[in-house]
Amino acid sequence: DQQVKQNSPSLSVQEGRISILNCDYTNSMFDYFLWYKKYPAEGPTFLISISSIKDKNEDGRFTVFLNKSAKHLSLHIVPSQPGDSAVYFCAAPGFRGAQKLVFGQGTRLTINP
């Protein structure tokens, strides 16, 4: 029962363009969402979050959009830079009704020069 799903295993974007990473969730009780970024041989690091009372949260080049009716969130990176090449995980605090984070499968983003 994958509660948080990232259906695109990989994404390739040209440097300077917009990267859009998508995430779907099944549990309408989720009230908070996070994005983590992971480089090879490192642990995931927190990138940005959004509360369900908002539909948008922006932090520099990174913006997360939340569509509660569609149970969908997306991460926009504008403009994309080579250092953005990493695996991105979306997550929500909702493991079996408790508040432990459940993660999506991850999307590998490659930024091409």
Partner 1 sequence: NAGVTQTPKFRVLKTGQSMTLLCAQDMNHEYMYWYRQDPGMGLRLIHYSVGEGTTAKGEVPDGYNVSRLKKQNFLLGLESAAPSQTSVYFCASSYTERGGYTFGSGTRLTVV
Binding site for partner 1 (CB under 8 A): 4, 6, 9, 32, 34, 36, 41-46, 49, 89, 91, 93, 95, 98-106
Rounded to the nearest whole angstrom, what is the least distance from the CB of residue 59 to partner 1 in the complex?
Answer: 14
Output 73 or 89, the one with its CB closest to partner 1.
Answer: 89
Alpha helices of 1-113 — where are they, by DSSP H? Answer: none
Output 79 or 93, the one with its CB closest to partner 1.
Answer: 93
Tokens (6 digits) for 113: 């020069």
Instruction: Kindly give, in sequence order, each residue whose CB lies less than 8 Å from that of residue 19, ignoring residues fewer than 6 positions away.
Output: 11, 13, 75, 76, 77, 78, 80, 84, 109, 111
Rounded to the nearest whole angstrom, what is the least distance from the CB of residue 73 to partner 1 in the complex?
Answer: 15
Rounded to the nearest whole angstrom, what is the least distance from the CB of residue 92 to partner 1 in the complex?
Answer: 9
Output 39 or 67, the one with its CB closest to partner 1.
Answer: 39
Instruction: Kindly give, in sequence order, each residue whose CB lies less than 8 Å from that of residue 66, ignoring residues fewer than 6 positions away.
Output: 33, 50, 52, 54, 55, 56, 72, 73
